[in-house]
Homo-oligomer: A and B are copies of this chain.
């Protein structure tokens, strides 16, 4: 499916950083869902650069609902969102078209597309494409919320600053949404300072982000290849910079014994729950009704202005690269709404597969 994900609800992304527009087609969504343009704009704003810790390229993200919406609601047919690129300075990139930024997609794009790729601003590999995902995800999030399913993503760790992990997802989601930097604890200044410190040294930082989902019914996902973990992981690795994913305590579980890692079941108000949630709400690939929690490793932005050793892949020779252009010293803040949005799309797909295409519509 390449640039598409999903089985019953299918998201397709398109666009290049410096082309006319980026966008998405979201196909298979239930009819009748509200399309709240203000909420979409709000979510796009959370992804937008906002201060010295982000890139200087600020796009207004004026989105257009091209299809699939009628009188403010989804029609059930493909919903297309177009977000024109307005603040484009391609000249910045002219010099680097054949010089590979280390650990960026420049060289691999060349190996795949033989020089026909649009090299300006990372082309189709640009984080710019995630604007469309956020817009689509906003619609999905509201549909999920109407079914009692809520989700969000916060910075768990960044440049030595450590946030608290989710313990009570719903209340913590409210805290996260209220802040400019999505954090459970009051660490915004510390994170911003750490990013600016790296920036001042012409460098960048990464971090770990954590997504929490509450309200999912038990029984979602499949054994084997469509495990919810596998499906969410495939989605997560679509986001540039993600190099690892773990569910629940993930790599931490690997160091435990079974008696420590197992989450005991118990009855609570007639429902089956677990006393701990080290497995992140998923057993055997299928939800158990507890919050689904996963962490993503986000590597530091590869585009840094420090001189770096690399190659000119057309001339086939070693060169030193001193990068100019507008880059994020960290994407850790901006990636959070992207992962939330993409996760929301995946959940809508899973629910539609399990309960039918009208499931989210019939609230």
Question: Which residues of chain B are within 8 angstroms of A76 by Cβ–Cβ distance?
Answer: 112-113, 116-117
Q: CA separation between A93 and B237, bound complex, in Å?
A: 38
A4 and B14 within 8 A (CB): no
- Known interface pairs A105-B223, A206-B254; 18 further A-B residue pairs with C-beta atoms within 8 A, sorted by A's residue number: A1-B1, A3-B226, A13-B225, A16-B68, A32-B113, A70-B117, A76-B112, A76-B117, A103-B262, A198-B257, A208-B251, A233-B245, A246-B246, A259-B304, A264-B308, A265-B310, A266-B311, A267-B317
Q: CA separation between A306 and B261, bound complex, in Å?
A: 13
Q: A32 → chain B, closest Cβ, in Å?
A: 4
| Partner-contacting stretch, out of A41-49, A52-60, A146-154, A348-356 | A348-356
Query: Interface residues of A: mostly helix, strand, loop or mixed?
Result: mixed
Question: Which residues of chain B are within 8 angstroms of A316 by Cβ–Cβ distance?
Answer: 267, 270, 272
Question: Which residues of chain B are within 8 angstroms of A225 by Cβ–Cβ distance?
Answer: 1-5, 13, 234-235, 238
Q: Is A299 an interface residue (CB 8 A)?
A: yes
Question: Which residues of chain B are within 8 angstroms of A289 by Cβ–Cβ distance?
Answer: 111
Q: CA separation between A299 and B257, bound complex, in Å?
A: 8
Q: CA separation between A250 and B246, bound complex, in Å?
A: 11
Q: A25 → chain B, closest Cβ, in Å?
A: 5
Given contacts A2-B226, A270-B316, contact A262 B12 (CB under 8 A): no
Q: Is A340 an interface residue (CB 8 A)?
A: no
Given contacts A105-B284, A289-B111, contact A3 B77 (CB under 8 A): yes
Q: Is A19 an interface residue (CB 8 A)?
A: yes
B116 and A70 within 8 A (CB): yes
- The number of times this chain is found in the oligomer is 4
Q: CA separation between A227 and B1, bound complex, in Å?
A: 11
B70 and A108 within 8 A (CB): no
A21 nearest in chain B by CB position:
B66
Q: CA separation between A264 and B309, bound complex, in Å?
A: 5
Q: Is A165 an interface residue (CB 8 A)?
A: no
Question: Which residues of chain B are within 8 angstroms of A265 by Cβ–Cβ distance?
Answer: 100, 102, 107, 309-311, 313
Question: Which residues of chain B are within 8 angstroms of A302 by Cβ–Cβ distance?
Answer: 258, 261-262
Q: Is A174 an interface residue (CB 8 A)?
A: no
